[in-house]
Structure 1
Amino acid sequence: MAGPSKKAKSDIALTPKRKRTFIETWKTQFPWLRCVDDIMFCEVCRGYPSIADHNSKLYEGVTGSKRIETLQSHESSKYHLLCIQRKEVTEKGTGPMFVALKKQAENMDDQLKPMFNTAFYVAKQKLPFRSFEGLIELQEKNGIKMPTQYRNDKGCKAFVQAIAEVEKDRVSEDLKASRFFPLMGDGSTDISVTEQENVYVR
């Protein structure tokens, strides 16, 4: 006698993964939040690109599932707070002195961009920090205006450390907004017989 038939795997209805949509009341809780064409983003950070973290999800724009944890993490992030501060100063400031200071700050932001890019190149290529000054001089010969300060190895180190802080905040923000993530660790002893531990997150 034949037993009960078993359903093929293809016949079993799979429950689709629920997509978390944008909730309008979030705009009240997070005044800087905007959602246009189903893309959720931070209006304040996009308004100050020279300060904002371009790798932030809320700067790039969230198109998939939208979680309040992402918003909470972004709101407390270092570079979002800097953008909020700049916005407040811009809106409250008046008079010729404020205009002059604002213009000076904007010019400094523009001048420091190539310095940050050069320092990033030095770090990524694993070049010594002392090569930073030569690269700055090369760019000046190519017609790029560079600041007269922060041109030595100490300046390069400061830029690299600032970039590292941005990346650290970005990774921290992503981890806080994620419910699950895998970890992998490894360690070794360096030349000074000091244990060095690496932790990888995907």
Structure 2
Amino acid sequence: MGVRREWLVYNNSSAKTMTCNIFQRYSTNRSCSFVVGTSTMKLESVKDHEKSNAHINAARISTAAAGSIATTATVQALIAMTDPTATKMKNLFRNVHALAKRSRPLSDIVWMCQLDDQKGIQVGGSYRNPVEARVFLHYIAQMEREKIRDRLKAASHIGIMTDGSTDSSVKEEEMVYVRTCVAGTVETSFVGITAVEKADAENITTAIKGIMESVCCDWEDKVVAISTDGAAVMVGARSGVVSRLKEKTPYIIGVHCMAHRLELSFKDVIKSISLFQQVEELLSGLYTFYHVSPLNRANLVKSYKDLGMTPLMPTRFGGTRWLAHLSRAVDHFLRGYKAIVQHLDQLRSCDSGAMSVQQCKAKKFAQIAKDSGILQFCGFLCDLVSHLGSLSQSLQRSNITIAEAHSCLCSTQAVLMKYKTRYY
């Protein structure tokens, strides 16, 4: 009689593939053939996978999850702990959790424990290295993932938010968040992040499905909406990610992220205004002018002090949060206008001793900054972007509801209409 493998699942569909249900649920390698489905129907492949360390570890986690928590070896070991030992373990767990929460390298655990020693906090002499810190972090993540599973299980409907990013090793990563409402409490939870071989609709869809299946086996029956950016690969009518997810669940509502859409709308409207192009050139130039030159920066600070003003350096004009960066750049320019113009006038004078290139730049920036039309437009931008920035921050709140979003949008529209009809 052949060996019965409960974990091996045959997908009797057009693809005719095999998957490992244990590996799908507990493995972090979402690109493995036994996760996405293998069409190689060979006993050798099944045996090789069964003997692999990754499958063995996933099977152990599955066995531990299926058993009673009170009878597991980990819980029995914790019960047997003495109070001093338990205190040391709690402090170590807190240190590792703080490192992960603040995106610090695990190597910081060494000096954190040394600092605890100096403060008289008990952390013991063991587990004070990055390797053991990674083990602690694994169990912290496992507990957090269980909390997410319990919440998704209690929710009747869920919404998915997903976006792509590039990590420090220049690899494309797909991030997935889940939005739930349980007992009237709205909550947004980070579900997972996984690398994608290529940022196309097929690979992104596979990544989203893999992440969701690791925390909720019936997520496709509960999902009602998915929020993405406006890229064609995500919202394409024929083969976009949203369209692919609708093949099995046609009632899913695709939502273009409102905060992202607000930024794009403002860019499309403002880019054709010549005054804005001049303001962009001025603010970007001032940021570079003072950012790359310590001498210019020091002289600007001196100019602020001579006028009795608090120093405010020109900031970057663009960035990922474009409205916020624009608002801060315009605000710093207007509040530090006197000091900036005074320093530019001093720099472009013949007796300043500055290089001719610096004098030419200072002369150009001063001429643009003193233009009354530019100055008035900067004031208009400051008023306008402050309201749009507040709207953007409201839309980005993790617990905002549709009704609150609509209210914020309507109030901002009312303010903008007043600006439109105001006469100066």
* TM-score, normalization by structure 2: 0.24
- Higher-Rg member (1/2): 2
Greater length-normalized contact order (CA 8 Å, ≥ 6 residues apart):
1
Q: Which has the higher helix share?
A: 2
